[in-house]
């Protein structure tokens, strides 16, 4: 069983501007591709990357610290994050996530936490989330 993995990557792009439609196909825009390359490199170079390859059910906690004070929807940022984690080889597939905690922060004052996306991944017990008993509520 793998341990926990903590990393910091650049603030993710919104899915609203991730892909461009051409007459023949849908392609990832250059800005998003550059972000994904930078994010994957930061994941690769994070201490503990080589010893953590997650194959089971997973949990993730995410802290989004935006670069500006503009409003943003955190759900539009998660797809890029999960795709980068998968592309890095840290996980097999983003369908492995059974639990998520998302923390949406405001722009931080100068000298505080830098604009970025911080995340922690951990492995869950094999039977985590297997059944749900709504009668107990």
CA distance 36 to 85: 9
Q: Domains plus CATH for the chain?
A: 5-127 (3.30.1330.70)
User: pLDDT under 50 in the chain at which residues?
Assistant: 1
pTM over 0.95? The answer is no
The per-residue pLDDT for range 69-106, each reduced to its tens digit, is: 888 888 888 999 999 999 999 999 999 999 999 999 88
List CB contacts of 102: < 8 A, sequence separation 6 or more.
61, 62, 64, 74, 78
Give the pairing of strands 58-65 and 97-104.
parallel
């Amino acid at each position: 069983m793998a341990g926990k993995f903590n990393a910091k990557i650049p603030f993710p792009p919104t899915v609203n501007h991730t892909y461009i439609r051409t007459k023949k196909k849908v392609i990832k825009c250059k800005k998003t591709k550059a972000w994904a390359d930078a994010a994957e490199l930061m994941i690769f170079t994070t201490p503990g990357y080589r010893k953590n390859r997650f194959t089971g059910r997973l949990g993730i906690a995410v802290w989004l610290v935006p670069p500006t004070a503009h409003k943003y929807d955190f759900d539009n940022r998660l797809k890029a994050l999960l795709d980068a984690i998968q592309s890095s080889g840290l996980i097999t597939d983003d369908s492995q996530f059974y639990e998520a905690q998302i923390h949406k922060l405001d722009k931080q004052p100068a000298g505080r936490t830098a604009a970025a996306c911080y995340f922690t991944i951990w492995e869950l017990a094999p039977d985590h989330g297997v059944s749900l008993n709504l009668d107990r509520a």
